[in-house]
Amino acid sequence: LHRNPGELEFHQAVREVFDSLGPVLHKNPQYVDAAVLERICEPERQIIFRVPWVDDKGHVQSNRGFRVEFNSALGPYKGGLRFHPSVYLGIVKFLGFEQIFKNSLTGMPIGGGKGGSDFDPRGKSDGEVMRFCQSFMTELYRHIGEYTDVPAGDIGVGGREIGYLFGQYKRITNRYESGVLTGKGVSWGGSLVRTEATGYGTVLFAQDMLRTRGLSLDGRRVVVSGSGNVAIYAIDKAQQLGANVVACSDSTGSVVDEKGIDVALLKQIKEVERRPISVYAERRGAGAVFRPGVRVWDIQADVALPCATQNELDGSDARQLIDSGVIAVAEGANMPTTPDAVAMFQDAGVLFAPGKAANAGGVATSALEMQQNASRDAWSFDYTEDRLSAIMSGIHDRCAYTADEYGHPGNYVMGANIAGFTKVADAMLALGVI
Ligand code: NDP
């Protein structure tokens, strides 16, 4: 803690993983001898840089940019960029740390990293976003590459931002190096299913968990927090599997729509028009209600999918969900559930999927995008979705099997942390003291 003062989210993420590792270290003293724990929570490299840009009024603005290259034992650093005013080193390091184990769990050859900026894209014009992204890449380009570090999107970074970033990379380097970024548009090197992958994967994981109890999503009442990339496609897949998604939210409040969220309308408002979620309720008409400043956890649900941001579901929210009969919670976002809430779900026998397992479908499909770029190929939607489904089932089974093996059946937190950790730790041992 004293080496990383004030980085609260990073401390939380490290504690969450290390809490699971007692039995692993007992069984594998070689990890202790090689100081794997000390090394794994120290990033291989951290880059912090100034991002100057000019707004539409001609005023010079200055933001801070980050890229934390955390661990490359399994492959090039891989992880998204987040543009949000709350971004500081502690958030980027928590996300980068989580990414090491998530990427390991996918079974793909990718290391862990994360980056971003305290730039707030909300309320900015396209031109301002473009100039910011160009300035950001003017520094970042020298640190990334297909074999080095491959960034992608996260909160505030979607297809538009990846386009501006890729354009500037191409211009500076004079290389059409498709594999340097993922989340690209399909016509210029992107992969089908990447947009849908995180949300779809989260719901597939929830379905796999339910199956272990002979249950399914069909006919279930579901609540989802957020209405961004992950939330929209989680809602979409849950509805495809027969669930009724009755609520979602954004940073201004939530909507309750007992008829079931209209995904096409939600996409139009959040993806195309970039407007607040209150507009959904206005346009949807009878039955849909906007609740300013209120989250979704007070609404009765069988399944809850937190898909917005870290620490958005705390102990009192967990209490409400448990009392209303929730049977499964799957994290689409990174670390959305506070540690006390996780413990409450587990004590109450609620199926609980941690983000590093349940939301790994996004980065796994990014790795599929890298494969297509490397072979200059473009796969069909159905083929790519089949690959995603197989990867998610593999992650589910690996977590479940590992939890059993270490004497904690049904504990997906232990399973994910241990399975993710041991693969990276073994690679670190094999590569020597580096
Ligand atoms: P988006 O920017 O597309 O959407 C984020 C959503 O969460 C928006 O509805 C936003 O509201 C809301 N939100 C963001 N910050 C806050 C906050 N502080 N308080 C309340 N609501 C907030 O991001 P993504 O959907 O891509 O990411 C969501 C989560 O999923 C993050 O934790 C991310 O790290 C994680 N994730 C994303 C992956 C991906 O592939 N995109 C992969 C794996 C994990 P508003 O619209 O008002 O800003």
334 lines ligand 1 (CB under 6 A): yes
84, 93, 7, 80: which is closest to 46 by C-alpha?
A: 93
Ligand 1, atom nearest to 194 Cα: 40
Which positions of the chain have pLDDT values less than 50? none
59, 62, 37: which is closest to 49 by C-alpha?
A: 62
Query: Which of 132, 149, 181 lies at the terminal end of a domain, its last residue?
Result: 181
Beta bridge partners of 359: none
Identify whether residues 146 and 71 lie together within a single domain. yes
First to last CA, the chain: 23
CATH number at residue 343: 3.40.50.720
Domain annotation covers residue 85: yes
Identify whether residues 278 and 164 lie together within a single domain. no
DSSP states along 35-55: THHHHHTS-SEEEEEEEEEE-
- Tell me 411's DSSP state: -
Domain count, the chain: 2
CB contact set of 134 (below 8 Å; sequence gap of 6+)? 53, 164, 167, 168
Q: Give me ligand 1 centre to Cα 357, in Å.
A: 17
CA-to-CA dists, residue 269 to 5, 195, 264, 274, 406, angstroms: 40, 17, 9, 6, 46
Identify whether residues 204 and 251 lie together within a single domain. yes
pLDDT at residue 23, as a whole number = 95
Domain annotation covers residue 273: yes
Query: Which of 353, 380, 406 lies at the terminal end of a domain, its last residue?
Result: 353
Identify whether residues 222 and 322 lie together within a single domain. yes
pLDDT at residue 198, as a whole number = 98
Whose structure tokens read 């120290």? 42
| Surface-to-core class of residue 117, CB atoms within 10 Å of its CB (0-12 exposed, 13-18 middle, 19+ buried) | buried
pLDDT at residue 182, as a whole number = 98
366 lines ligand 1 (CB under 6 A): no
The answer to whether residues 333 and 362 touch, using CB atoms and an 8 Å cutoff, is: no
Best residue among 229, 255, 365, 392 to mutate for probing ligand 1, ranked by most atoms within 8 Å of CB: 229
Q: Give me ligand 1 centre to Cα 226, in Å.
A: 6
Identify whether residues 126 and 159 lie together within a single domain. yes
Query: Which of 181, 214, 230 lies at the terminal end of a domain, its last residue?
Result: 181
CATH number at residue 166: 3.40.50.10860
Starting at the earlier edge strand, list the strands of the sheet with 45-54: 45-54, 60-71, 112-117, 77-83, 149-152
Helix axes 339-347, 8-18, angle to 10 degrees: 30
CA-to-CA distance for 65 and 202, rounded, in angstroms? 29
Identify whether residues 202 and 290 lie together within a single domain. yes
Starting at the earlier edge strand, list the strands of the sheet with 351-353: 289-292, 253-256, 244-250, 221-225, 303-306, 328-330, 351-353
Residue 235 has φ and ψ, to the nearest 5°, of: -60, -45
Identify whether residues 247 and 272 lie together within a single domain. yes
The answer to whether residues 118 and 379 touch, using CB atoms and an 8 Å cutoff, is: no
Identify whether residues 68 and 165 lie together within a single domain. yes
229 lines ligand 1 (CB under 6 A): yes
228 lines ligand 1 (CB under 6 A): yes
* Beta strand 112-117 pairing with 77-83: parallel
The answer to whether residues 74 and 104 touch, using CB atoms and an 8 Å cutoff, is: yes
pLDDT at residue 426, as a whole number = 98
Domain annotation covers residue 392: no
Domain annotation covers residue 14: no
Token duo for residue 355: 């983000």
Q: Give me ligand 1 centre to Cα 332, in Å.
A: 9
Domain annotation covers residue 358: no
Identify whether residues 223 and 344 lie together within a single domain. yes
The identity of residue 27, as a single letter, is K
The identity of residue 410, as a single letter, is G
Identify whether residues 168 and 245 lie together within a single domain. no
pLDDT at residue 286, as a whole number = 79
- Tell me 375's DSSP state: T
CB contact set of 135 (below 8 Å; sequence gap of 6+)? 51, 52, 53
pLDDT at residue 122, as a whole number = 93
Identify whether residues 240 and 175 lie together within a single domain. no
Identify whether residues 334 and 250 lie together within a single domain. yes
Q: Give me ligand 1 centre to Cα 228, in Å.
A: 6
Domain membership of residue 133 as a residue range: 43-181
Report ipTM (2 d.p.): 0.98
Instruction: Using DSSP, state whether 108 is helix, strand or coil.
Output: coil
